[in-house]
Amino acid sequence: MNRPNAVKLAETILQLDKLRDELYEELMIILGPRAHELLRKLQNS
């Protein structure tokens, strides 16, 4: 893999991580402490 692609991939990962945090905060507002439980349940199904 060349360096420009690696940088672009790293930037995309950071953007997705930020979006994940924002979505998780929104889920916490809706479900409170049950948000984590729901995520784990869905992840393991």
Residue 15 pLDDT class (50, 70, 90 cuts): very high
Domain ranges of the chain: 3-43
Q: Could you tell me the pTM of the whole model?
A: 0.77
Q: Determine which of 1-5, 8-12, 30-34, 40-44 has the lowest per-residue pLDDT on average.
A: 1-5
Extract the tokens encoding 40: 């784990």
Report the share of the chain in percent with pLDDT over 70: 98
**What CA–CA distance (Å, rounded) separates 43 from 31?**
17
Extract the tokens encoding 10: 């790293």
Confidence at residue 4, expressed as pLDDT on a 0 to 100 scale: 86
**What CA–CA distance (Å, rounded) separates 32 from 44?**
20
The pLDDT tens digits of the residues spanning 22-37 come to 999 999 999 999 999 9
Confidence at residue 1, expressed as pLDDT on a 0 to 100 scale: 60
CA 35 to chain centre: 13
